[in-house]
A and B are shown apart, each in its own frame.
Chain A
Amino acid sequence: MNIIITSIDYILNRARANSLWPLTFATSCCGIEMMQTVASDNDIARFGSEIFRGSPRQADLLICAGTITHKMAPALLRLYEQMPEPKYVIAMGACTCGGGMFAETSYSVVKGIDKIIPVDIYLPMCPPKPESLIDAIRKLQDDIKKESILKRKDFLDAHCSRLTEYKGMLVEEDFVVTKLGVK
């Protein structure tokens, strides 16, 4: 029995890991680096993920490239929920990991997208170089190769979005709620 399960896991995980189609989702400067990753010097196609799909229905990987503001957050949540299982997220850039240079002073930036959606790989830097993005994708591939269909339930529980609905401002215990422009 274990032989069957492990061999299914082997094939399935290899297939998933090697055809991560990213969603075209770039909100700011990290997007430029993401474009560079697709271009000729740092060819992301080598890992089978050069097919950037416009529609979230066909994407496997959400590379969140750039600052997420409170206004953008509902769109991010919606896009993540529109993606079919299995789906993975790379938080690209310091802003998406924890607010980055907007963490202290800005009223409009979500301090880390992991308050909204689960994140598989954090890739800080401002912005990360194309090599780092490729490194992140390879680390994600390694993670995917360790998955098992027996642990599917845990995976799905870990990958459901953190919020069901996003109403403008994030309200959490450790999160100071601020109104627009007023501290």
Chain B
Amino acid sequence: MNYLYFLYIEFLAKHNIPKIFGDITFYVIPACIIFVALILVILVLVLFERKLLGWFTQRKGPNRVGFWGVLQTLADAFKLLCKENITPIGADRAVFNLAPIIMFLPVLIALGLIPFSSEFTFMNFQTNVLIYVILATFPVLSILLAGWASNNKYSLIGGVRNVAQILAYELPISFTVLSVIVLASSMNLTQITLAQSNQYGVLGWYWFPCIIGFGLMLICTLAELNRCPFDLPEAESELIAGYNTEYSGMRFALFYLSEYGMLFANSLFISVLFLGGYLSPFGKYLSPILFSGPVGNILIYFEQAFWLFAKSFLIIFIFIWVRATLPRLASFDLLKFSWNILLPLSIVNLLLMSLLKFFVGGVYA
């Protein structure tokens, strides 16, 4: 990122444009890239999920729009864009309209914290992990606001349920993330990625020593994303559509988009923490071997991004698999499951990782 920054400033200096302009715009360009990329990924993700759910239940899934149903999500997006927007009479207009926007913002910021390749992290703070964990809980605010502002009993119950759920499942997540921080001795996502590159290859990634934590993280992330089997805030059989009962058209689409955006961001986060981020599973990168010269050296960055995306899509596949398999938990069981089982387990996991770091430190350091 620094290297790109100096190139950009030099380019501007050549054309007599003040440096302050460069300082400002340099961070606007990656933000635009992230925004467009996010929308594209979400469009792919929704189709991915619908197709996979179809195959899991022995159906074909969408296959009429475009070749093999590729444009299905685009059709949905256009339709939602051109649909009537309804604000209920009893609703709190300002908050009702603001809630979907608040939901979408943290997704964008969270994506900026992920190291897509060794040179490409938009916001590379020393405490990336901490900021990410905070941002990942941010949608709960918007869901509560949406539930409250809709002036609808189903929405309100959905919003309040979500708060209880996030409170219960955020603690195990924090403890699990803490165990990874202990292993890597760093709170920076790039440092955590680099700490996983050792002579053990795939087994050197943290999913292996921290297998309990990996499982915990998968379960708790499901709960945090409000996905099956923890989709209580929008349980269709009980709450119509939960917190977004009163939302129609584009505002509903924003909720939909940010849900999938958060799914993508969280799967990236898990693959950075446990699956070695942008590291290649073969130990070394393939592009310098396949392409000699400077092309291979540049392609390394794209290859790193490819590995990260592949890993995150593997995790998303697991999430969809779980959704197609398991029924929904009852509200009380959900909370009991977290407080009685997951939280103690995550503390034990933290303890184990600290002992591992202390005694076998040389291997995973």
Is there contact, CB below 8 Å, between B59 and A58? Answer: no
Within 8 A of B (CB), among A157-171: none
A14 close to chain B: CB less than 8 A = yes
Kindly provide the distance from the CB of A80 to the nearest chain B CB, expressed in whole angstroms: 13
Which B residues are in CB contact (< 8 Å) with A54?
Answer: 236, 239-241, 245
CA distance A19 to B43 in the complex (A): 14
B193 close to chain A: CB less than 8 A = no
Is there contact, CB below 8 Å, between A55 and B245? Answer: yes
Is there contact, CB below 8 Å, between A19 and B86? Answer: no
Which A residues are in CB contact (< 8 Å) with B65?
Answer: 14, 18, 48
CA distance A102 to B77 in the complex (A): 42
Which bracket fits the contact residues of B? 35 or more
CA distance A55 to B245 in the complex (A): 6
Among residues of B, the one whose C-beta sits closest to the C-beta of A84 is B84
Kindly provide the distance from the CB of B1 to the nearest chain A CB, expressed in whole angstroms: 39
**Most interface-central of A15, A39, A47, A84 (chain B CB within 10 A):** A15
Which of B68-76, B170-178, B197-205, B305-313 touches A? B68-76
CA distance A116 to B55 in the complex (A): 39
Given A14-B65, A47-B64, A48-B65, check contact A57 B246 (CB 8 Å).
yes
Within 8 A of B (CB), among A56-86: 57-58, 60, 82, 84-86
How many chain A residues have a CB neighbour from B under 8 Å? 26
**Most interface-central of A40, A46, A85 (chain B CB within 10 A):** A46
A43 close to chain B: CB less than 8 A = yes
B57 close to chain A: CB less than 8 A = yes
Report A35-59 CB contacts with B as 1/0, cut-off 8 Å: 0000110010111101001110110
Given A18-B64, A57-B86, A57-B248, check contact A45 B240 (CB 8 Å).
no
Among residues of A, the one whose C-beta sits closest to the C-beta of B72 is A48
Report B243-270 CB contacts with A as 1/0, cut-off 8 Å: 0111111001000000000000000000
**Most interface-central of B50, B62, B86 (chain A CB within 10 A):** B62
B83 close to chain A: CB less than 8 A = yes
Question: Which of A19, A47, A53 is B79 in contact with, Cβ under 8 Å?
Answer: A19
CA distance A70 to B266 in the complex (A): 49
B209 close to chain A: CB less than 8 A = no
CA distance A15 to B244 in the complex (A): 22
Query: Besides A45-B54, A60-B83, A82-B86, 6 other CB < 8 A contacts?
Result: A12-B82, A39-B57, A40-B57, A46-B62, A58-B241, A84-B83
- What are the nearest 8 A-B pairs in CB distance? A15-B78, A84-B84, A55-B241, A57-B248, A43-B59, A40-B58, A85-B84, A54-B240
What is A's interface to B at a CB cutoff of 8 Å?
A: 11-12, 14-16, 18-19, 24, 39-40, 43, 45-48, 50, 53-55, 57-58, 60, 82, 84-86
What is B's interface to A at a CB cutoff of 8 Å?
A: 50, 54, 57-65, 69, 72, 74-79, 82-86, 236, 239-241, 244-249, 252
CB-defined A-B contacts under 8 Å, sample of 22: A11-B78, A12-B78, A15-B74, A15-B75, A15-B76, A15-B77, A15-B78, A15-B79, A16-B78, A18-B64, A18-B72, A19-B75, A43-B54, A45-B54, A48-B76, A54-B236, A54-B245, A55-B246, A57-B245, A58-B252, A84-B84, A85-B84
